[in-house]
Amino acid sequence: MRGFLTFLAAVAVVALGYWAYHQNIQTQQALREVDRLQRAIVTERERLGVLRAEWAYLNRPDRLRELVDLNFERLNLLPMAPDQFAVMDEVIWRPEAPEPAEAEAEDILFSASDAEDLP
């Protein structure tokens, strides 16, 4: 009986050792993945900064004015005038559609209030 318990304890120690080793490997892989993702985030932020700088460079008013002057006739552009802009009172606003959840809630409340009116 004593030998069996010793064997069982040895198997448990080996199994726990394997489990700990496996957890260690998984942890190292997860840390490498986190490092890779952080490097990718830094790279994408740098690219985003470059894109923002390019956007600001391409949208300079003087550059846009030159493009308009070069392509004015070809694009059949009209000169801007103050009467081309609308006054806020002239704008027709569409009514906002209720959210589906709100519409259902109103229907439920309406149905419940109708039920109270019935004798």
State mean pLDDT over 40-59. Answer: 96
Q: What is the pTM of this model?
A: 0.50
As a whole number, the mean pLDDT across the chain is: 83
Which pLDDT does position 32 carry in this prediction?
97
Q: Is 94 helix (H, G, I), strand (E, B) or coil?
A: coil
In the block, which residue shows the tokens 């069996």? 4
Which pLDDT does position 19 carry in this prediction?
96
Find out whether 91 and 99 touch, Cβ atoms under 8 Å: no
* Cβ neighbours for 63, distance < 8 A, ≥ 6 positions apart: 57
Least confident residue range of 3-7, 46-50, 54-58, 111-115: 111-115
Residue 29 has pLDDT above 90, yes or no: yes
d(CA 62, CA 81): 20
State mean pLDDT over 67-73. Answer: 87
d(CA 64, CA 58): 8
Reported as a single tens digit per residue, the pLDDT across 81-117 is: 887 787 778 778 788 776 665 555 555 555 544 444 4
